[in-house]
Amino acid sequence: MEQKNIILTGDRPTGRLHLGHYVGSLKRRVELQNSGKYDEINILIADDQALTDNADNPGKIRENIINVVLDYLSVGIDPEKSTICVQSALPALHALTFYYMNLVTTARLARNPTVKTEMQMRGFADEGLPVGFFSYPISQAADITAFDANVVPVGEDQLPMLEQAREIVEKFNRIYGETLVMPKAMIPENETQRRLPGVDGKAKMSKSLGNCIYLSDPSSVLKKQINGKMYTDPLHLQISDPGHTEGNVVFTYLDALCTDAHFAEYLPEYANLEEMKAHYRRGGLGDGTCKKFLFNVLEETLSPIRAERARWEKDIGSVYDILSAGTARAVERTNETLARVRCAMKIDYFANRSIIGEWEELLKKARQ
């Protein structure tokens, strides 16, 4: 099988997409899409995965599918170049998950550090752990392999999922013969972009933690999030006090997003972030100035995204058609992989009638 360059990424439709998604994955996806270097780009709205911890609230998932597609289109995902599809409508993914479950032990699943953290966040340790949630890394391996993806652009929290997927591929190919493509994670080079913290300084900006700057937030909300909620340095009480830039969310966001051009445009006193940080550390630079600069940087990033969203929001019929066409393409694509998998596993009884000959031969031998 000739290896093509194929991307698979996705998001859970549990809310609108936020700045963490943007720096961790979306921005990269658009660059890769426009690089012309990839044969296929597939973007999966993982509604089945979202149900694993929202089974009692399917309305939330249904609502957020449109939010996620709108966010994709507004950051520059181009449906002519990328296939956007909905997970629950792809039956091959369910079948693959079922087969891969036989290749993974419960002990292995229990070791997944991201799942461990997420279990804690969701209170599953006390309430009891849904089997679906516990095993979602297996279904994620099905998503990736169903598209024969070799490249998976994700944030750092997804590295354990990729590791699990790679183990499944290795084991499957060892038992059933070379069938599945080995995937590789692609994480941002900029360290801060790999896991953007929340505005409250918590380890990860996450829909489930309510500490997000959403791509679709209007300027007024953005301003409130920055001025009201954003965690800086609690020891920096007076402007003249020396300040800490480490663990200071304003500087973390600047690390992830600002360029020297932003300084030339909005804060020409400094040539770059290093100079600004040095001043903050020495003392004499107030949080107000830093926050105002961050606001300008974010406005520059987010205002074109908002404008695109407003345009698409007026044309939901077209958005539906894009999603429906992408999903139809993905059904075909993933069914091909499932057929290949079933053939490798020798359970493709009804692919053609060749098994009749095999069975007849077997019975003939038994009679001899």
* DSSP sequence for 36-102: T--SEEEEEE-HHHHHTT-TT-HHHHHHHHHHHHHHHHHHT--TTTSEEEEGGG-HHHHHHHHHHGG
Least Å from the CB of residue 293 to ligand ATP: 21
* Phi/psi at 246 (5° precision): -70, 135
Least Å from the CB of residue 24 to ligand ATP: 2
68 vs 168, which CB is nearer to ligand ATP?
Answer: 68
19 vs 341, which CB is nearer to ligand ATP?
Answer: 19
Query: Could you tell me which residues come within 8 angstroms of residue 227 by beta carbon, excluding any fewer than 6 positions away?
Result: 291
Task: Let me know if 245 is exposed, middle or buried by CB neighbors in 10 A (0-12, 13-18, 19+).
Answer: buried
* Phi/psi at 40 (5° precision): -150, 140
**Dihedral class, residue 28 (left if φ above 0, else alpha if ψ from -120 to 50, else beta):** alpha
145 vs 206, which CB is nearer to ligand ATP?
Answer: 206
156 vs 300, which CB is nearer to ligand ATP?
Answer: 156
Least Å from the CB of residue 279 to ligand ATP: 27
Per-residue tokens: 169: 């591929």
Binding site for ligand ATP (CB under 6 A): 11-12, 14, 20-21, 23-25, 154-155, 157-158, 195-196, 204-208
Number of residue whose CB is nearest ligand ATP = 24
Least Å from the CB of residue 352 to ligand ATP: 39
Least Å from the CB of residue 207 to ligand ATP: 4
Least Å from the CB of residue 344 to ligand ATP: 29
60 vs 281, which CB is nearer to ligand ATP?
Answer: 60
2 vs 56, which CB is nearer to ligand ATP?
Answer: 56
